[in-house]
Amino acid sequence: MSNLATLPKNGSLANKNKVSNFPSLSSWFDDFSLTDFPSLFATNFNTGISLPKVNIKEVADAFIVEMAVPGLKKSDFNINLENNILSISAELKEENENVNDNYTRREFGYSSFKRTFTLPETVNDSKINAKYTDGILHVHLPKKEEAKQKPPRTISIS
């Protein structure tokens, strides 16, 4: 028998004011999402990059960071290493100007992101490299020789 209680969305264990077939005010707020009305809350000022998603995987001889950042160029990225902290950032500036007979419209945008990662001591920081292909930034963080996973071996009994 399980001793875990199932909690309703509002987090309370007991419903003190139970009115049948009528949702509580807190459950209405739980179900309300601002994403249902994107045009109501969106502005033209923030056309920037959201924080990119990252996959980090460990293989026998390295750690691999994969960051999804489509639409950028290699020159848009800054990758820095300082005190075992790897920083990946990008900055984009865009300006458009449209001049007609009686008016001038000028739009400009700015977007940026920065992700930082604390590297383990096992990373050989002198051999870190990166490449950008098909909208994915790949950062290869090789391990130091003593930290690499050794293949299994059989020990003979004497």
- Predicted pLDDT of residue 49: 59
pTM of the model: 0.59
* 123 occurs within a structural domain: yes
For residue 93, what are the domain limits? 54-147
* 33 occurs within a structural domain: no
Give how many domains the chain has, as a whole number.
1
CATH number for 113: 2.60.40.790
- Predicted pLDDT of residue 36: 46
* 101 occurs within a structural domain: yes
The rounded distance, in Å, linking the Cα atoms of 102 and 30 is 49
- Predicted pLDDT of residue 107: 75
Average pLDDT score over the chain: 75
* 137 occurs within a structural domain: yes
* 128 occurs within a structural domain: yes
* 107 occurs within a structural domain: yes
Q: What is the DSSP string of 93-115?
A: EEEEEEE-SS-EEEEEEEEEEEE
CB 40 within 8 A of CB 22: no
- As a whole number of angstroms, the longest Cα–Cα distance in the chain is 96
